[in-house]
Amino acid sequence: MSILSQAVIDSLPYLFPGIVTTLGLVLIALGIGLVMGIPMALIHVYGSRPLQYIIKTYVWIFRGLPILVLLFLFYFGIFPLLGLYISAFWIAAVVLGFRTAAYQSEIFRGAIISIHDGQMLAARSLGMSRSQAILHVILPQALRNALPGWTNEYPILLTDSSVCYAIGVAELLTRGNQIVARIHEPMTIFILIAAIFIILNYSGQWIFARIERRYRIPGYGEGDSR
Amino acid sequence: MMTDEIILRVEDIHKRYGENEVLKGVSFDVQRGETKVFIGPSGTGKSTLLRCINQLTVPDSGYIWLNGEEVTHAGPRINQYRQKIGMVFQNFNLFDHLTALGNVEIALLRVKKMNRQEARKKALMELEQVGLSDKVNSYPAELSGGQAQRLSIARALAMDPEVILFDEPTSSLDPELTREVLEVMRRLARNGMTMLIVTHEMGFALSVANEILFMEHGLIVEKGPPSEIPTSQNFTRTRQFLGSFQD
Ligand SMILES: Nc1ncnc2c1ncn2[C@@H]1O[C@H](COP(=O)(O)OP(=O)(O)OP(=O)(O)O)[C@@H](O)[C@H]1O
Ligand SMILES: [Mg+2]
């Protein structure tokens, strides 16, 4: 059985939009997670007590529930209840985004609190305000330190995204399944789907690894640290 | 270089951490161009005192005056006063994500709001002052300890401070590197910079200080010009401390 059977060749054009949808979900979710995660982390570290508790509760909920439960909750419950009738794709992207935001905020929080106190002291001693010190001294370093952990969210999201099949998002797995229903070659098609996930996963990781290398601070973290 | 003008007044500073009363009422005046050196056993509050001066640590009571203006209780204006009070730390606290130039420039850009060219010009001048013209584009992790400390001095100098606080600036350096940092500080003193220095480098202290202040248990217990240390009644306890220091 050649992998390049006619079935594979015929199904590729049909799978391609699924690839786009899957990558769309992942990239939108990563973006939502980033845009929410950094402020959440800052509030968690520097915010007032009540604000900290709000963030903690958010993280607690979104890290505590299975993705599928979250998807159903938002798809059948929260969004309809709010009178928001948006497509399954956007609901899925938002739910994945909210979830990764919880994880990302923890990654960024860890990176922020790992910055030595002396950085804040030095910045303040030069006359910077607290927010200037955070913005110009703490965050640029914390974000670099967070990068390896952050890019790790990509393979997690990519593999998790196939769950969106359950609410009918036409992502890669959904489309594969539709082909199987028509041509009855499950083995061939699912091996193909698996291969595509593997390629998306590791080529994406390769790209992120290059980004990480680009933002490394010369000499930093090599041998003895200061 | 020293003038009669009092530039900094420290008045009855108290600070406690829980049960631990670290500063028990410290007062002294600093004249423009003066170099004061603080010595004393570990844990007597020398670092705490320096941090109280620029309010990185807020004292429980007492006052700090800079050029007659109150620095304690300054509210948001503290950021203006801090520009005038430079600080050099034992472990440098350089900004690791910025080059040497960036380290000196950043406060000029963000705090003094200089434009790019002005800031760059000023920063390059300060780097030259401390002999780092060839390290402009190096990152802190690429510098030796001595270079790193000279960079942090340049960073402080760039703000044109009225006074610079040095908290054991050479304690994490080996003797060779210590020498190059002390050389820079000696030159600053000669050029009339007002400096408060906590150090264990007695040779340096004796040759540079206008006044030595011996601290113990949160108080200044003895003080006077370094020339009096070997003989004067004022320095009995200090001599004892220095003696035990040499064994
Ligand atoms: N943030 C803090 N919280 C609690 N205690 C503190 C804090 N900072 C300093 N202390 C305590 O205050 C006392 C004085 O510390 P400080 O660092 O000012 O002493 P020092 O004279 O600089 O000592 P050294 O020569 O070892 O640097 C010490 O007992 C120290 O444990
Ligand atoms: Mg100390």
- Which pLDDT value is given to residue B2? 63
Partners of residue A225 in chain B, C-beta under 8 Å: 141
CA distance A52 to A103: 16
A68 φ, ψ to 5°? -60, -40
- Which pLDDT value is given to residue B230? 87
- Which pLDDT value is given to residue A5? 76
Candidates B52, B87, B93, partner chain A, best to mutate (most A CBs within 10 A): B93
CA distance A209 to A199: 15
Candidates A125, A132, A136, partner chain B, best to mutate (most B CBs within 10 A): A125
pLDDT digits (tens, 9 = 90+) for B11-69: 999 999 999 999 999 999 999 999 999 999 999 999 999 999 999 999 999 999 999 99
Pairwise CB contact (< 8 Å): A217 & B139: yes
- The answer to whether domain A20-173 has CATH 1.10.3720.10 is yes
DSSP state of B40: -
Task: Provide mean pLDDT across the span A195-214.
Answer: 93
Pairwise CB contact (< 8 Å): A118 & B91: yes
Task: Provide mean pLDDT across the span A132-144.
Answer: 96
B218 lines ligand 1 (CB under 6 A): no
Q: What mean pLDDT value characterizes chain A? A: 91
For ligand 1, atom 7, the nearest C-alpha belongs to B17
Q: Is residue B132 part of a domain?
A: no
Q: Is residue B44 part of a domain?
A: yes
pLDDT of residue A2 exceeding 90, the answer is: no
Left if phi > 0, otherwise alpha if psi is -120 to 50, otherwise beta: which for A62? Answer: alpha
Partners of residue A142 in chain B, C-beta under 8 Å: none
| pLDDT, greater one: A143 or A4 | A143
Q: Is residue B137 part of a domain?
A: no
CB-CB neighbours of A226 under 10 Å: 16
Q: Could you tell me which of A208, A110, A111, A82 has the C-alpha nearest to residue A155?
A: A208
In the numeric block, the tokens 């490394």 are attached to A216
B244 lines ligand 1 (CB under 6 A): no
Q: Does the interface ipTM go beyond 0.90? A: yes
Q: Is residue B182 part of a domain?
A: yes
CA distance B117 to B7: 31
pLDDT digits (tens, 9 = 90+) for B170-215: 999 999 999 999 999 999 999 999 999 999 999 999 999 999 999 9
Q: Is residue B218 part of a domain?
A: yes
CB B120 within 8 A of CB B105: yes
- Which pLDDT value is given to residue A224? 45
Using DSSP's 3-state secondary structure scheme, residue A185 falls into coil
- Alpha-carbon torsion (A200, A202, A206, A208), positive or negative: positive
pLDDT of residue B139 exceeding 60, the answer is: yes
Q: Is residue B238 part of a domain?
A: yes
Pairwise CB contact (< 8 Å): B56 & A121: yes
Q: Could you tell me which of A92, A87, A72, A88 has the C-alpha nearest to residue A32?
A: A92
Please tell me which of the candidates A118, A126, A218 has its beta carbon nearest to residue B82.
A126
The residue range of the domain holding B30 is: 6-93+161-243
Q: What is the CATH number of the domain that holds B167?
A: 3.40.50.300
Parallel, antiparallel or unpaired: strands B194-198 and B163-167? parallel
Pocket test for ligand 1, best of B13, B44, B52 (most atoms within 8 A of CB): B44
AA identity, residue B172: S
In the numeric block, the tokens 């845009």 are attached to A35
- Which pLDDT value is given to residue A226? 41
- Which pLDDT value is given to residue A225? 43
List the domain boundaries for chain A: 20-173
A43 φ, ψ to 5°? -65, -40
AA identity, residue A45: V
List the structure tokens of B144.
């030796």
Q: Is residue B125 part of a domain?
A: no
Pairwise CB contact (< 8 Å): B96 & A217: yes
pLDDT digits (tens, 9 = 90+) for A8-67: 788 888 889 999 999 999 999 999 999 999 999 999 999 999 999 999 999 999 999 999
Q: Is residue B213 part of a domain?
A: yes
Partners of residue B82 in chain A, C-beta under 8 Å: 124-127
- Highest mean pLDDT out of A213-217, B2-6, B132-136: B132-136
In the numeric block, the tokens 């217990």 are attached to B221
Lowest mean pLDDT among A56-60, B2-6, B117-121, B189-193: B2-6
CA distance A153 to A205: 10
CB B224 within 8 A of CB B234: yes
CA distance B151 to B129: 10
Percentage of residues of chain B with pLDDT beyond 90? 92
Number of domains observed in the structure of chain B? 1
pLDDT of residue B78 exceeding 70, the answer is: yes
pLDDT of residue A136 exceeding 90, the answer is: yes
Atom of ligand 1 nearest to the CA of B90: 27
Residues belonging to chain A: 226
- What is the separation, in whole angstroms, between the first and last Cα of chain A? 59
In the numeric block, the tokens 């690791």 are attached to B96
Give the chain A residue whose CA is nearest to the CA of B55: A125
Residues belonging to chain B: 247
Q: Which helix (H) or strand (E) holds A51?
A: helix A49-64
List the structure tokens of B179.
């020498």
Q: Which residues contact A132 (CB under 8 A, 6 or more apart)?
A: A123, B110, B111
